Amino acid sequence: MVLKLLGDKPLGSRDAEVVGHALDLDPVAMCMVAARVEEQGVSPRSLGGELWSNGDPLTALCFSGANLIPLLGDAEDIAAFAARALRSPRMCSSVVGRAEHVMEFWRHASSQWGPAREVRSDQPLLAMSGPPAIAPDPGVRRVRITEIDAYLPAAIDMFTGEVGVDPCLGDGGRSYRRRIAALIRAGRAYARFDDGEVVYKAEVGSMSRRVGQIQGVWVSPKRRGKGLGAAGTAAVVAAITAESRTASLYVNSFNHPARAAYRRVGFDEVGTFATILVD
């Protein structure tokens, strides 16, 4: 099976308008890619990945980069994207997106890319556009770049627990530190500090013009079960929705304490994501 319109040629700047329309079709689920496109454009050189179509980007679209994200398409389109991906060395460390697309992609790709390190097939996708249903924690604020050394251990602990990989492996954490520093400088890292120690943290990992996607929610193990997660996340939601954006996140179905906290904040379930972690 081949890509019907473009063969192996990715979408480029000439396709920017139609790609923008496609990403507007599902702004919550497509936030990760929409944010990159709005900031960097569609050209693979600036985007840090490729956008593929299987005919019309309004009906079939996939992003291939550090994450592979099937965005739009029917079973035939997803099979074509998998065939395209398998013709080249694997560049991604995960496949993520709406569960129906991800699991269909993995059905075709698993024979060459598997076995997966972990398959998370049921991750409720949550969203809310109004103010939080509970009072935000007034102690949660944007992190200052001078606080990165205090913030980083919490971020590393969260990442290691969530992904199962130490982000400091390979280069001693330099690339991860740069990523966190960029989020702090952009005003998208939030924390509550008690006596100089982070007790709650979260980032807005992707920010499109319509949606802010929250990631990396973490509460100090010493302070869990006291409502810090819900109140802290309410503060992040308030900051996002104050700018007329929808706040969203996705969560593992088995993480019952987090799901209960997000219900208290006021999130509604708007779909299901899946994540395939590959080695």
pLDDT tens profile 138-149 = 999 999 999 999
Task: Report pLDDT for 6.
Answer: 43
Structural contact between residues 235 and 136, judged by C-beta atoms closer than 8 angstroms:
yes
Q: What percent of the chain has pLDDT over 90?
A: 92
Extract the tokens encoding 81.
Answer: 């994207």
Intervals of the chain under pLDDT 70: 1-8
Query: CA–CA separation, 175 vs 168, rounded Å?
Result: 8
State the pLDDT at residue 2.
37
Q: C-alpha distances in angstroms, 200 versus 67, 180, 238, 260?
A: 27, 15, 16, 17
pLDDT of 258: 96
Quickly list DSSP for 49-110: SEEEESS-TTT-EEEESSEEEEEE--HHHHHHHHHHHHTS----SEEEEEHHHHHHHHHHHH
Beta strands per DSSP E along the chain? 50-53, 61-64, 67-72, 94-98, 118-128, 141-142, 189-194, 197-207, 211-219, 246-250, 268-277
Instruction: Name which of 234, 249, 238, 12 is nearest 123 in CA terms.
Output: 249
Cα–Cα distance, 110 to 116 (Å, whole number): 8
0.85 surpassed by pTM: yes
Q: What is the model's pLDDT at position 184?
A: 98
Please give the structure tokens belonging to residue 262: 């997000």
pLDDT at 162: 87
pLDDT for 8: 62
116: CB partners within 8 A, 6+ apart: 106, 110, 276, 277, 278
96 neighbors 67 (Cβ within 8 angstroms): yes
What's the pLDDT at 278? 93
Distance CA 243, CA 173 (A): 33
Contact 81, 93 (CB under 8 A): no
